[in-house]
Amino acid sequence: MSGGLLVAGTTSDAGKSVLTAGICRWLRRRGVRVAPFKAQNMSNNSAVVVGPDGRGGELGRAQAMQAAACGLDADLRFNPVLLKPGSDHASQVVLLGEAVDTVTAGNYHEVRARLATTAYAALAELRAEYDVVICEGAGSPAEINLRDGDYVNMGLARQAGLPTIVVGDIDRGGVFASMFGTVALLDAADQALLAGFVVNKFRGDRGLLQPGLDMLRRVTGRPTYGVVPWALDLWLDAEDSLAYGRVLGRPPAPRGTDWLDVAVVRLPRISNATDVEALATEPGVRVRLTVEPAELAAADLVVLPGTKSTVADLAWLRETGLADAVRAHAAAGRPLLGICGGFQMLGRAIHDAVESRRGTVPGLGLLPVEITFEPRKTVRRAEGTAAGDVPVHGYEIHHGRVTAADPGLAPLLRYADGTGEGARLGTVYGTHWHGAFSSDAFRRRFLTEVAEAAGRTGFKVAPDTSFAAARERTLDLLGDLVEEHLDTDALWRLIESGPPPGLPFVPPGAPPAQ
């Protein structure tokens, strides 16, 4: 077979990514050869894929997570177009893994046709190789100002003949209005593909919800395929920045007598913030995102995460008073970690003629290194060791490179060939590696050292925490939610046979897309 389905949403962060992953895991359990697909993603959370030629490329982290749900290694075709916002007005275009251009709202239409052609070709290849491809939309399909030229939502569904379901987040309120409005704002050809709905994040008595579901069916002629309950454990690999709360996950109780408090600065253009999720899986480690300088004072560890715009976010640190709070934290001898762009901020100077084009900008001066931005981006997986014998793996995505460092400055990590990477000076640490904390032994060693430096003598790392196992439990939970709360027989008929014939038109409808 060559089945398919598009999972669209009433809004960003409605649950498209997790529902897509859950459907993928459910199908895999049935023995179906299934793959995920998102024509265009807009996110600074990306993963690295190494292609057949040995070169690294980027795709959205959500599609890497969905690939894992399918039991597959990530493939750049799963997310052929990735837009990485560098400011409020411009985004870097990553096409099949490689950064090729920068677009703005003004010139996006000039490159859109090329992007659409690449996306359609990638989907066609995947449908020829797999039994089923589960596609994820972007934002809402009812963004009528963007419908002309759309190749991500209903434009993709129409081009590939995909039945479409719309997921809505009831926890935000207004789910019935947004579902009805989504249908009513589509033209007749698009409405003919929209088969029904899924309600996400429901808390309460299902019986109280049923009258609304019945009325939604009467006014749209479309069923609700299921109601997915609120699940507290679904927080790993959160794609949309809206998904980040102040505290990550539900921290388990400490194994010792002390908690370890980690404050992560929520930069405006934060990227790959999932780096710190591995820390949050450890018992007794409380990880919170913050933009308040006062909250850094009480933290045991402060983390400056990655960013798509190092120089701009460094200026924001200074404007908000966070830069002074970071310096004060380090001056007190308390642990400070910079990852990728955060590491670059910790140096003496940043020479940037590529990303911000602001030339030389002083850093925070907490590590004796200088960073130079180069036109070609480093995109690769990394393996090596820490502290001599602790295995570490991760990945790199950055333009900046260390071009000057004080002799004798200790590296934080070492590549497999023995070359040093990153830096450590007292209790200040920096690395370009993302994902290093998913290496269990390294994470435990680092947290033990941090706790000692912070005076948390009662903190004990758990010897049995596995980040890979935690991620697999999340994927299994998603599959369970689909099996238990969706009408999977009806879902299978959609995937196998396409949109049901005779779906009614809901007025007023939009003019036909060009």
84 closest CA partner among 46, 28, 128: 46
Q: Are the CB atoms for 448 and 461 separated by under 8 Å?
A: yes
CA of 8: how far to CAs of 28, 123, 193, 239, in Å? 21, 16, 11, 15
CA of 191: how far to CAs of 137, 347, 407, in Å? 15, 54, 65
The verdict on whether 393 is a catalytic residue reads: no
CA of 477: how far to CAs of 115, 133, 142, 234, 472, in Å? 34, 21, 30, 8, 9
What's the CA gap between 199 and 179, in Å, rounded?
9
Q: Residue 97: phi, psi to the nearest 5?
A: 95, -15
What's the CA gap between 391 and 439, in Å, rounded?
7
What's the CA gap between 369 and 347, in Å, rounded?
5
Q: Residue 149: phi, psi to the nearest 5?
A: 85, 0
Instruction: Considering the candidates 329, 340, 351, 399, report the single residue annotated as catalytic.
Output: 340
Instruction: Considering the candidates 398, 432, 434, 485, report the single residue annotated as catalytic.
Output: 434
The verdict on whether 340 is a catalytic residue reads: yes
42 closest CA partner among 92, 5, 99, 96: 92
What's the CA gap between 447 and 262, in Å, rounded?
10
| Neighbouring residues of 419: CB distance < 8 A, sequence distance ≥ 6 | none
> What residues are annotated to the active site?
340, 434
